[in-house]
Structures are given as structure tokens and as C-alpha cells.
């Protein structure tokens, strides 16, 4: 299927893998701000309103897959108290929150849009 994990992880445009998916530099008030179009290949990043609605479910899934095993490991392997493990998981979740949100959006658009190195000709 030719999806690039590194382009996805680094929040690059799925079509050209060069342009940035998110506005740089990082805006504290609006960390998920995205340019309307890719600066490099002119791909529109929000083809329709609510395009990233599904990305929300991805972020839930990713958070659960990361945090649930962590909590179970802490409690059952390292004998942490359930309360201690919860605090740790909430802390981790807070630290990873933004990265997970961005990667979910990135993954979403990478699933939908194919890499096309010849975009410049079309």
C-alpha cells in the first residue's frame, strides 16, 4: 500500500511527503492548526468539513493501546498500586496527548491519500 511510516510520524503531506501537515511554528492556542493547502504540492488538507472526525477514534484507539498495557504492566508486573498506576497513566496521557492527536490526523490523511511523486506534472 506504500504508506510511509516516517512521513506519517513526522506529520508530512501524504502526497508529496515534503510539505508539513501542521502549521509551523507550533501555536500554543491552536496546536492542531493545519494550513489549508500543502505548501509543496498544493494538496488540500481538509477536503470536506469534519474530515478529521474519524481521526478522533484513531486517537482513542492509539491511547488505549499505549496506556492500558502500561497500566497493567505497572500493576501486575511491578506491583504498583492501582492508584499509582492511574496517576502514571494520566501523566503519560497528558504528555503524549498532543503527539497522539497529531499522529491520528496524520495517519487518517495518510490512509486516505496516496503517495504521488509525480504530483508536479498533474
Whether residue 30 contacts residue 86, with contact meaning beta carbons closer than 8 Å, is answered with no
Q: Assess 105 for contact with Zn ion (CB under 5 A).
A: no
User: Candidates 40-48, 60-68, 89-97, 102-110 — which segment interacts with Zn ion by CB under 5 A?
Assistant: 40-48
Q: Which of 119, 96, 97, 115 is nearest to 12 (CA)?
A: 115
Q: Assess 21 for contact with Zn ion (CB under 5 A).
A: no
Q: Assess 41 for contact with Zn ion (CB under 5 A).
A: yes
Nearer to Zn ion, 47 or 69 (CB): 47
Whether residue 34 contacts residue 51, with contact meaning beta carbons closer than 8 Å, is answered with no
Among positions 7, 19, 102, 103, the unique one binding Zn ion when judged by CB under 5 A: 19
- Cα 103 to Cα 39: distance, rounded to the nearest angstrom: 19
Q: Assess 32 for contact with Zn ion (CB under 5 A).
A: no
User: Candidates 16-24, 55-63, 64-72, 98-106 — which segment interacts with Zn ion by CB under 5 A?
Assistant: 16-24
Cell numbers given for 52: 478529521
- Cα 38 to Cα 7: distance, rounded to the nearest angstrom: 14
Residues that bind Zn ion (CB under 5 A): 13, 15-16, 19, 38, 40-41, 43
Amino acid at each position: 500500500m506504500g504508506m510511509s511510516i516516517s512521513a506519517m510520524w513526522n506529520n508530512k503531506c501524504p502526497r508529496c511527503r515534503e510539505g508539513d501537515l501542521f502549521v509551523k511554528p507550533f501555536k500554543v492556542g491552536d496546536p492542531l492548526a493545519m494550513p489549508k493547502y500543502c505548501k509543496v504540492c498544493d494538496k488540500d488538507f481538509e477536503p470536506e468539513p469534519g474530515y478529521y472526525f474519524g481521526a478522533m477514534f484513531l486517537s482513542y484507539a492509539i491511547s488505549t493501546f499505549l496506556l492500558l498495557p502500561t497500566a497493567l504492566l505497572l500493576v501486575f508486573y511491578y506491583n504498583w498500586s492501582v492508584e499509582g498506576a492511574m496517576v502514571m497513566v494520566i501523566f503519560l496521557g497528558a504528555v503524549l496527548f498532543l503527539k497522539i492527536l497529531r499522529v491520528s490526523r496524520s495517519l487518517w490523511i495518510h490512509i486516505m491519500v496516496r503517495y504521488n511523486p509525480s504530483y508536479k506534472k498533474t
